A and B are shown apart, each in its own frame.
Chain A
Amino acid sequence: MPEWFTRFPQALSLDIKKPIDDAIEYMVQNWGGFFDGVSDTLRALLLWVRTAVNIIPWWALIATVFVLTLKTSGRLSRALLYAGLLLFVGIIGLWEMMYATLTIIVTSVILSLLLGFPLGVLISFSDRASRLVRPVLDTMQTMPSFVYLIPAVMLLGLGNVPAVIATIIYAMPPIVRMTSHGIRQVDREVVEAAQSFGSTRFQLLTKVLIPQAMPTIMAGVNQTIMMAISMVVTCSMIGATGLGSEVLKGINRLESGRGFAAGTAIVIVAIIIDRLTQGFAKGGVEHAE
Chain B
Amino acid sequence: MKNRKIAWLCVLTSLMMMLFASASAQTAVFGDAGWDSMKFHNAVAMLIAKEAYGMDSEEMSGSTAITYNALKRGDIHIYTETWTDSIAPYQQDVADGKIIELGINYDDNIQGLYVPRYVIEGDESRGIVPMAPDLKTVADLKDYPHLFPDPEDPGKGRIYGAISGWMVDEIMRKKVEFYGLDSLYNYMDPGSDPALAAAIVGAYEKGDPIVAYYWEPAWITGKYDLVLLEDAPYEPELYLKGECACPSIKLTVCVNPEFYQNNPEFCEFLSKYATSSALTSEALAYMNDYDADYPETAHWFLQQHPELLDQWLPEDKAELVRSAL
Contacts and interface: CB of A to CB of B under 8 A. Distances in A.
Given A28-B205, A29-B205, A252-B164, A157 B195 contact: no
Contacts of B190: 158, 238-239
14 contacts: A32-B208, A153-B199, A154-B202, A155-B202, A158-B190, A158-B196, A159-B151, A160-B152, A161-B151, A238-B191, A239-B199, A249-B164, A249-B189, A252-B64
For the complex of A and B, 9 pairs with smallest distance between CB atoms: A252-B165, A154-B202, A153-B198, A237-B192, A237-B191, A28-B205, A158-B199, A238-B195, A32-B206
Contacts of A251: 63, 65, 165
B316 interface: no
Given A18-B291, A251-B63, 9 more contacts: A28-B202, A153-B202, A154-B198, A158-B188, A158-B191, A161-B151, A239-B191, A239-B199, A254-B69
B164 A238 contact: no
A125 interface: no
Contacts of A150: 194-195, 198
A236 B191 contact: yes
A149 B195 CA distance: 8
A157 B191 contact: no
Interface of A: 18, 25, 28-29, 32, 39-40, 43, 46-47, 146, 149-151, 153-155, 157-161, 236-240, 245, 248-249, 251-254
B47 interface: no
Q: How large is the interface on B (under 10, 10 to 19, 20 to 34, 35 or more residues)?
A: 20 to 34
A253 to B, nearest CB: 5
B227 interface: no
B206 A238 contact: no
Among B191, B195, B198, find the residue whose CB has the most chain A CB atoms closer than 10 A.
B191
Interface of B: 63-65, 69, 151-152, 160, 163-166, 188-192, 194-196, 198-199, 201-203, 205-206, 208, 291
Nearest to B197: A150
A238 B202 CA distance: 13
B205 A237 contact: no
Nearest to B203: A157
Nearest to B198: A153
B191 A146 contact: no
A248 B194 contact: no
Nearest to A17: B291
Is chain A's binding surface mostly helix, strand, loop or mixed? helix
Given A153-B195, A158-B199, A251-B65, A239 B189 contact: yes
A39 B192 CA distance: 21
B202 A25 contact: no
A160 B201 CA distance: 18
Nearest to B160: A158
A245 B202 contact: no
Among A39, A40, A249, A252, find the residue whose CB has the most chain B CB atoms closer than 10 A.
A252
Contact of A159 (B65, B166, B188, B201): B188
Nearest to B165: A252
B65 A253 contact: yes
Nearest to B167: A253
Contacts of B165: 249, 251-253
Contacts of A248: 164, 191-192
A145 B291 CA distance: 24
A157 B164 contact: no
A39 B194 CA distance: 20
A39 B151 contact: yes
B164 A43 contact: no
Contacts of B166: 252
Contacts of A159: 151-152, 188
Nearest to B212: A158
B314 to A, nearest CB: 36
A248 B202 CA distance: 24
Contacts of A39: 151
Nearest to A21: B291
A119 to B, nearest CB: 29
Contacts of B196: 158
Nearest to B206: A32
A157 B202 contact: yes
A8 B198 CA distance: 34
A146 B65 contact: no
Among A28, A40, A160, find the residue whose CB has the most chain B CB atoms closer than 10 A.
A28
